[in-house]
Amino acid sequence: MRHLFVVDPPASFDIWADTTIAFMREAARRGQGVFACEVAQLHIDASGRPVADFVELRLAGPDYWNRVDAVVAAAVSGDAPAAGRAVGNPWYTAAGAGRGALSEFDVVWMRKDPPYDLDYFFATHLLSLVPPPALVTNDPSALREVTEKLYVLRFPELTPRTLVSRSQAELLAFREKLGGEMVIKPLDGCGGEGVFHLTREDRNAHAILEMATAHGTRYQIAQAYVPEVRRGDKRIVLVEGEPVGAVLRVPRATESRSNFHVGGSAAKTEISAREREICARIGPDLRARGIVFAGIDVIGDWLIEVNVTSPTGVREINALDGVRIEGQVLDAVVRRRESQRGE
């Protein structure tokens, strides 16, 4: 089986946290081919075929990854000095490059990190042209339709009170309706970027909204502030719509954001009955849309976001719980691939 990963440059990957690396490692562990390309290396050739300029990746051996996993385990347990230890050689070598039809791969993984820009949008259309039995995951049409900040509004009973607007006056009025406190964030943000906690006492609120809305030209999503965020937000990983693991992301004492990208720390957690209700409500829709792998963010009893473009959290969950979620993801992908072949 041959896997093509559409990604950011592999040399830029964070070897300690990148979930795509976990998927690549699992494919290599099974003796399957691992290839990579960037969005800019996707094309439609003169015969109308979706093709890619790709490179084959030969991943480092088990000893290297055992050292990496030990550092990750030390980091999530709070052993900061251990997290800084070097592990030596690069995590992969380029074994060869070429151009080929995407249909020649068994699985094409769309794992390009946000932002969701026009290049990403057009890439999903190109990937929609890949014929079966090749499997593209997550489904490219679903990547267009399941807008991560707005998809949750299909389930209003699960979310905090929400407003989407680019009007500063409307956003400020909404803050008052909420009792003087709200969170705003851009529709196309990721990793906690552009997230602000605004209170009635915040004298910079007007300036922040001017900047966030680009003087009324950029939409913001505003939500009721959920105070439980001080204890952390929970990333729950779903495979075929079923929850398979979770990690609590705890904010620093000086932060209101808990994303790992802004310094949040990982803590072991369980999936509550309420969170299983949320998963049961949205899981069937995600599965029907072809979303094999998703990550949802929950604060308190509320669904905040659904991440389908390039969800993370697998490495932290693996380290905390002693599991290997990537194996479940690969199994699910193989089942979908075989179903497309009619096997």
Could you give the residue numbers annotated as active site?
A: 149, 185, 235, 249, 257, 297, 305, 307
Positive or negative, the Cα torsion across 196, 199, 202, 208? positive
d(CA 316, CA 282): 24
Amino acid, res. 234: K
d(CA 133, CA 98): 22
The answer to whether 1 touches 32, Cβ cutoff 8 Å, is yes
> Would you state the structure tokens that stand for residue 35, as one six-digit string?
């290839």
Q: Identify the DSSP state of 252.
A: P
d(CA 105, CA 133): 9
Q: Which of 109, 297, 315 is nearest to 189 (CA)?
A: 297
Assign 308 to helix, strand or coil: coil
Q: Identify the DSSP state of 39.
A: G
Q: Which of 342, 318, 340, 341 is nearest to 26 (CA)?
A: 318
187 contact partners, CB below 8 Å, separation of at least 6? 147, 149, 150, 164, 219, 220, 221
d(CA 300, CA 230): 10
* Number of neighbours of residue 62 by Cβ within 10 angstroms: 11
The answer to whether 168 touches 176, Cβ cutoff 8 Å, is no
95 contact partners, CB below 8 Å, separation of at least 6? 55, 56, 57, 58
Residue 50 CA to chain centroid, in angstroms?
Answer: 25
d(CA 220, CA 209): 9
Q: Which of 98, 92, 95, 72 is nearest to 83 (CA)?
A: 72
Residue 16 CA to chain centroid, in angstroms?
Answer: 16
